[in-house]
């Protein structure tokens, strides 16, 4: 296990003006284990405690209680050893805006202990890999958001860290840049680097990660592979709009192939396995009950359905 | 440790050299003081030649460069905190004090180069000063720069707010400068003001600078100024370095 955390907690004390200090429990006991070579995601809405947790694991924030070992070292007592083993890219990117990207890369490599020649060679390697060679001599502040993000990744990887932390890596990127970044993260796994990332995008967690935890209000509410988690809910989901939702809910809940029915505002979601085969039966049941449908759709269950099941609300609403 | 400090020093110096316009621009104010203010002072001092006036005036201008050149170096750091640059450095294998030390050394080098230009200009205008005195004054000035940049970085790391920081800096800078007797000699000041000036380390530094330029090495202000400035700069450097260590984790 490259990351093992037990009952990690973080309480911040905030002071605003003359009010008495207020305690905010950002993380309320997180247990976690990430295997070597995995892409592991924290999925959750903004303010769920994802960033605080990743910052504790990256030695930026000291846990209030609990323990964590990262790459074999304790994050509190052996923080310096942990830092030798990790790359970290925070939400802001963390690239010096005033200097050319190449300078920043070489500096990061030399801080990591490389000789001047090796640092240069390693920088060129990364500039080529991230398609940045032509931008490398311009001050970073003149680059676009996607280009800065690529520099941030390159700087984080310069010392070959076995573990790479990415905090909201694709927030603010356009779809093209997001897809490119996903490819880059996947290629890290091919080279044996473990990746821990946070995201509030369902598709991102689904498409990219091997395993994930869903975090809400500072707690882990579900853990598994995307497929396992979705299977827990059901294979498919039928989304219905109709006028007498409560009646329909009772009716569908009694059907043997329906695993669960949820009502959300004017939408009814029926979870069932093997949707293609069971949809006709479902339609017949509604017709027999005399319930006219305004609209209906059949989709594969997504991580949002998993989130809904565990937290009672949709991640799209929670964000 | 030393290696990381020199790495940052090199990095920051290269960044400065890419845009040498700014430190040169920063020199404009002291240069204008020399060109426009010194002749004015020369005329008010009875029997004073231009050379004498400059010998009295230049140490003050050097202190002004040290103070104004360095008090504002921390502003850039606030943005570096915000965009996560310092945070990323903090979780790398870096010796954290090097992040501040590298910059502070860069600031001191920039100061000394600026001071040499000012001395050259004053010499062209007719100033004749003791050479060992000039050398010692450069050291004293560099230490004053260290004091100011340490304060500036410490303040940036503590406040993390450009507006608050510029207000505080302005608030301190004006009386500090006026009470050095740079503009007008403190001998013109009323007793209470002269008493207050005694508590201004920069006043002693300017006094020491004048004695040094005159070649009067036995003057008591010299050890006093060196002692005060060195102790204070050690304290401010310590503060900025420990703020950097606490930055994260």
The verdict on B238 touching A (C-beta cutoff 8 Å) is no
Q: pLDDT tens digits, residue range B59-102?
A: 988 998 888 888 888 888 888 888 889 888 988 888 888 999 99
Check pLDDT > 70 for residue A17: no
Query: B83–A92: do the CB atoms touch at under 8 Å?
Result: yes
User: Is residue A100 over pLDDT 70?
Assistant: yes
Give the least confident one: A65-79, B72-86, B176-190. B176-190
Answer yes or no: is pLDDT of A188 > 80: yes
Considering chain A, what is the average pLDDT of its residues? 87
Nearest CA in chain B to A97: B80
Judge whether B160 is closer than 8 Å to chain A, CB to CB.
no
pLDDT in the model for residue B235: 95
Of A79, A89, A110, the CB nearest to B7: A110
Asked whether the predicted pLDDT for residue B249 surpasses 50, the reply is no
So what's the pLDDT on residue B190? 87
pLDDT (average), residues B184-199: 83
Give dist(CA A47, CA A27) in Å, integer: 10
Q: Give the pairing type, strands A86-89 and A163-167.
A: parallel
Q: Which residues of A touch B85 (CB under 8 A)?
A: 92, 94-97
- Give me the pLDDT at residue B56, please: 85
Least confident range of A20-24, A26-30, A210-214: A20-24
pLDDT tens readout for residues A241-289: 888 877 778 877 777 888 888 887 778 888 888 878 888 888 888 888 8
Measured CA to CA in angstroms, residue B124 lies from A148, A199, B128 at distances of 48, 64, 9
Distance from CA of B78 to the nearest CA of A (A): 12
- Give the per-residue pLDDT at A176: 83
Chosen for mutation from B22, B93, B97 (greatest number of chain A CBs closer than 10 Å) is: B93
pLDDT for B144: 93
Interface of A with B (CB under 8 A): 58-62, 79-80, 83-84, 86, 88-99, 103, 107-108, 110-113, 152, 155-156, 159
pLDDT in tens, A117-166: 999 999 999 999 888 999 999 999 899 888 898 899 999 999 999 999 99
Mutation site for A-interface testing, chosen from B85, B97, B247 by largest number of A Cβ within 10 Å: B85
Residue B48 has pLDDT above 80, yes or no: no
Where on the phi/psi map is residue A234: left (φ > 0), alpha (ψ -120 to 50), or beta?
left
Closest CA to B108 of B243, B12, B209: B12
Three-class SS of residue B97?
A: helix
């Amino acid at each position: 296990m490259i990351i093992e955390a037990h009952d990690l907690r973080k309480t911040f004390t905030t002071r605003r003006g003359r009010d008495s200090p207020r305690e905010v429990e950002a993380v309320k006991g997180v247990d976690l284990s990430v295997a070597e070579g995995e892409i592991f995601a924290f999925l959750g809405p903004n303010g769920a405690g994802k960033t605080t947790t990743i910052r504790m694991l990256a030695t930026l924030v000291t846990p209030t209680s609990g323990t964590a070992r990262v790459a074999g070292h304790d994050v509190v007592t052996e923080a310096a050893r942990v830092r030798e083993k990790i790359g970290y890219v925070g939400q802001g990117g963390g690239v010096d805006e005033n200097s050319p990207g190449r300078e920043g890369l070489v500096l990061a490599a030399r801080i990591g202990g490389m000789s001047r020649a090796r640092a240069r060679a390693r920088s060129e390697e990364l500039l080529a890999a991230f398609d940045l060679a032509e931008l490398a001599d311009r001050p970073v502040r003149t680059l676009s958001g996607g280009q800065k993000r690529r520099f941030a990744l390159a700087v984080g990887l310069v010392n070959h860290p076995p573990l790479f932390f990415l905090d909201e890596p694709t927030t603010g990127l356009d779809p093209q840049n997001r897809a490119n970044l996903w490819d880059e993260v996947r290629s890290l796994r091919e080279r044996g680097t473990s990746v821990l990332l946070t995201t509030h995008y369902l598709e991102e967690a689904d498409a990219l990660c091997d395993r994930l935890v869903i975090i809400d209000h500072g707690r882990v509410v579900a853990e598994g592979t995307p497929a396992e988690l979705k299977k827990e809910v059901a294979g498919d989901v039928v989304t219905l709009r109709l006028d007498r939702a409560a009646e329909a809910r009772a009716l569908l809940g009694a059907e043997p192939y329906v695993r669960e029915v949820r009502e959300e505002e004017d939408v009814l979601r029926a979870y069932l396995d093997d949707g293609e085969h069971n949809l006709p039966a479902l339609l017949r049941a509604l017709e027999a009950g005399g319930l006219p449908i305004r609209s209906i759709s059949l989709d594969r269950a997504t991580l949002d359905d998993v989130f809904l099941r565990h937290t009672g609300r949709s991640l799209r609403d929670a964000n | 440790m030393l290696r990381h400090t020199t790495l940052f020093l090199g990095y920051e110096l290269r960044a400065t050299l890419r845009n040498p316009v700014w430190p040169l621009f920063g020199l404009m104010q002291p240069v204008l003081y020399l060109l426009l203010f010194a002749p004015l002072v020369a005329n008010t001092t009875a029997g004073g030649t231009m050379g004498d006036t400059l010998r009295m005036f230049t140490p003050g201008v050097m202190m002004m460069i040290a103070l104004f050149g360095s008090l504002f170096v921390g502003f850039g750091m606030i943005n570096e905190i915000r965009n996560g640059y310092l945070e990323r450095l903090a979780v790398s294998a870096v010796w954290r004090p090097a992040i501040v030390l590298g910059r502070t050394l860069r600031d001191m080098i920039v100061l000394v180069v600026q001071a040499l230009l000012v001395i050259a200009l004053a010499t062209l205008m007719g100033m004749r000063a003791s050479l060992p005195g000039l050398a010692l004054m450069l050291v004293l000035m560099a230490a004053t720069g260290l004091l100011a940049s340490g304060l500036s970085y410490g303040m940036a790391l503590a406040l993390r707010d450009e507006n608050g920081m510029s207000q505080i800096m302005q608030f301190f800078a004006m009386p500090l400068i006026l009470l050095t007797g740079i503009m007008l000699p403190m001998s013109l000041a009323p007793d209470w003001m002269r008493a207050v000036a005694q508590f201004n380390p920069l006043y002693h530094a300017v006094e020491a600078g004048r004695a040094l330029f005159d070649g009067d090495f036995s003057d008591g202000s010299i050890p006093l100024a060196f002692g005060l400035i060195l102790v204070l700069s050690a304290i401010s450097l310590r503060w900025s370095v420990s703020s950097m260590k606490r930055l994260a984790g």
